């Protein structure tokens, strides 16, 4: 029986919780059969070299949950009622004759260009990956506190029911009160929809507004998943040059129906669109009836100067659809963002969202609302900005130590990445192949081009998951690897 039990004393999960999960699993998997006598609390404690109290408390909890029964003076037994979930016996798929199935897919998506980072990217010593958070900076204690409060009985009842017709009121309210005013945006609750991040916002927009005749301008290079969503909805994609040329886009081409832009930190070049260009772009779009889809990507993370107001703030009466996200400030795994648009659009989007996933997890909405209202969101962003600034300074300082650089870069005003262009004829793909052998990874730039002529010399270096000394060492390694290529 000893072989059935093992716990890890170094693990962050408590010994009690580990033991509970272990025994419950053994019962459910059928390894501990109904009626089996459990080792006495004393024996179990000495077998695992843990305190007897821990075992007593765990056995009691297992008894309360129905996994064990206790008999006076005899000890604990696995409950007689069989909890082992018996699998239904069917032919295992691998034993079936493989038939050539023709699925007659009406649509396929697998041929769309995909930007994939390696599954094990975090195990690289130097993962220069953009858009992910540094786990070391995550405000774990504050987040846990908000989750705990969101799970208090009084709050729990606010999110246990599904509620597709309405989002968490406290979240909508706090976004209107604290998040949007920082972007210069004022709106009513009816003009907001909570989504599972900008990705879902884009899907809702494309599904409701686009068809084969829709002409949508997209920054080139630009966000690949936006392009894929637009392609999947049959819209004609018109790649447009990024700043400064973007300002005269709608007039130089056949007018666009929509223009998708990332003015705060252009994805992937990180360039911030200056106010004068924002004004010119707004004028042009207004003149040509082009509706702007504003993805306010990394808008909170400016470290060099005050962020410019959102386009939506500069033209509150124009039909601009605005997208915000908590992915870059809290975590992308949270899957939480929001759309701000005129009420009739939000009404449609809410119904479409209901058909897709009803709504974003109520628990996530509630915990995030608390996280913002308790001030943790603002202080976390403040800290992130400081860290990102330090990281960027380390990046530039490290470059100063080299007489000659094998690349140029566009200076960001903030955000979590730097866009670089290797000197001709160095190809980013060759550098990446060599760097991977040195345990260093970065993102190839050519994935971000929607036209047939991607620039093979470009790359994006994400700085958000590396601390200063890692950035310094990684960057030195990157440059030495490039120089050795020649
Ligand atoms: C420019 C841009 N917009 C939107 C998104 C999607 O963000 P979310 O995680 O909110 O879906 C990303 C993801 O990295 C992005 O790069």
List the chain domain ranges.
2-78, 121-137+379-485, 140-376
CA of 226 to the centre of ligand 1 (A): 9
Residue 252 pLDDT > 80, yes or no? Answer: no
* Residue scoring higher pLDDT (11 or 2): 11
Query: Which residue owns the Cα nearest ligand 1 atom 7?
Result: 198
Return the half-sphere exposure (C-beta side, CA atoms, 13 A cut-off) of residue 224: 14
pLDDT tier at 373 (50, 70, 90 boundaries)? very high
CA pair distance 284, 261, nearest whole angstrom? 14
User: 240 phi and psi, to 5 degrees?
Assistant: -120, 150
Q: Is the CB of 332 within 6 Å of ligand 1?
A: yes
Most confident of 70-84, 233-247, 410-424: 410-424
- Pick one of 3.30.750.24, 3.30.470.30, 3.40.640.10, 3.50.50.60 as the CATH number of 140-376: 3.40.640.10
Q: Domain 121-137+379-485 adopts which CATH fold?
A: 3.90.1150
CA of 328 to the centre of ligand 1 (A): 8
CA of 24 to the centre of ligand 1 (A): 40
Q: Is the CB of 228 within 6 Å of ligand 1?
A: no
Report the 10 Å Cβ neighbour count for 199: 19
Q: What is the DSSP letter of 385?
A: H
Q: Is the CB of 195 within 6 Å of ligand 1?
A: no
Q: How many residues does the chain have?
A: 486
Q: Which class does domain 2-78 fall in? A: mainly alpha
Residues 253-275 pLDDT 10s: 568 999 999 999 999 999 899 89
User: What average pLDDT does the chain have?
Assistant: 92
User: 169 phi and psi, to 5 degrees?
Assistant: -60, -40
Return the half-sphere exposure (C-beta side, CA atoms, 13 A cut-off) of residue 454: 18
CA pair distance 397, 401, nearest whole angstrom? 7
Q: Is the CB of 284 within 6 Å of ligand 1?
A: no
* Percent of the chain with pLDDT strictly greater than 70: 94
Point out which residues pair with 217 in neighbouring strands. 238, 259
CA pair distance 334, 316, nearest whole angstrom? 29
Q: Is the dihedral of CA 146, 152, 157, 158 positive or negative?
A: negative
End-to-end distance of the chain based on CA atoms, in angstroms?
62
Q: What pLDDT is stored for residue 159 in this prediction?
A: 94
Q: Is the CB of 295 within 6 Å of ligand 1?
A: yes
Q: List the Cα angle 96/99/100 in 5-degree steps.
A: 155
Q: Tally helices (H) and strands (E) across the chain.
A: 16, 14
Please state the atom number of ligand 1 nearest to the C-alpha of residue 196: 11
Q: What pLDDT is stored for residue 3 in this prediction?
A: 74
pLDDT tier at 100 (50, 70, 90 boundaries)? low
């Amino acid at each position: 029986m000893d072989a059935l039990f093992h716990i890890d004393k170094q693990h962050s999960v408590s010994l009690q919780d580990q033991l509970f999960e272990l025994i419950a699993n053994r019962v459910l998997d059928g390894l501990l059969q109904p009626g089996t006598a459990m080792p006495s609390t004393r024996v179990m404690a000495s077998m695992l070299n843990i305190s007897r109290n821990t075992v007593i408390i765990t056995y009691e909890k297992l008894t309360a949950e129905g996994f064990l029964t206790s008999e006076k003076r005899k000890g604990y037994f696995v409950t007689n009622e069989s909890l082992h979930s018996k699998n239904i016996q069917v032919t295992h798929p691998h034993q079936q004759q493989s038939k050539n199935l023709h699925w007659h897919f009406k649509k396929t998506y697998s041929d769309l260009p995909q930007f994939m980072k390696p599954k094990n990217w975090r195990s690289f010593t130097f993962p220069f990956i953009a858009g992910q958070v540094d786990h070391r900076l995550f405000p774990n204690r504050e987040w846990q506190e908000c989750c705990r409060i969101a799970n208090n009985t009084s709050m729990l009842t606010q999110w246990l029911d599904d509620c597709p017709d309405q989002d968490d009121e406290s979240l909508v309210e706090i976004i209107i009160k604290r998040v949007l005013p920082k972007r210069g945006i004022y709106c009513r609750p009816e003009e907001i929809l909570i989504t599972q991040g900008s990705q879902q916002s884009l899907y809702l927009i494309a599904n409701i507004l686009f068809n084969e005749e829709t002409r949508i301008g997209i920054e080139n290079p630009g966000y690949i998943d936006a392009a894929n969503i637009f392609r999947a909805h049959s819209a004609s994609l018109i790649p447009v040059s990024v700043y400064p040329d973007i300002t005269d886009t709608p007039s130089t081409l056949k007018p666009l129906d929509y223009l998708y832009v990332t003015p705060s930190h252009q994805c992937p070049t990180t360039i911030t669109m200056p106010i004068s260009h924002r004004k010119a772009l707004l004028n042009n779009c207004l003149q040509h009836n082009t509706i702007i889809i504003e993805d306010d990507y990394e808008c909170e993370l400016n470290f060099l100067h005050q962020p410019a107001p959102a386009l939506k703030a500069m033209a509150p009466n124009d039909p601009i659809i605005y997208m915000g996200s908590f992915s870059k400030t809290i975590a992308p795994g949270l899957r939480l963002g929001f759309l701000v648009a005129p009420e009739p659009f939000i009404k449609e989007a809410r119904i479409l969202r209901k058909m897709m996933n009803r709504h974003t997890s109520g628990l996530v909405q509630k915990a995030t609302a608390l996280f913002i209202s308790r001030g943790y969101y603002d202080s976390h962003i403040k800290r992130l900005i400081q860290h990102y600034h330090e990281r960027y300074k380390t990046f530039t300082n490290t470059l100063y130590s080299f007489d000659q650089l094998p690349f140029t870069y566009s200076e960001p005003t903030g955000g979590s990445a730097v866009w670089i262009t290797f000197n001709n004829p160095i190809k980013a793909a060759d550098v990446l192949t060599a760097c991977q052998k040195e345990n260093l990874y970065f993102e190839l730039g050519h994935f971000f081009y929607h036209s047939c002529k991607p620039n093979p010399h470009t790359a994006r270096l994400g700085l958000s998951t590396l601390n200063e000394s890692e950035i310094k060492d990684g960057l030195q390694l990157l440059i030495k690897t490039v120089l050795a290529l020649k």
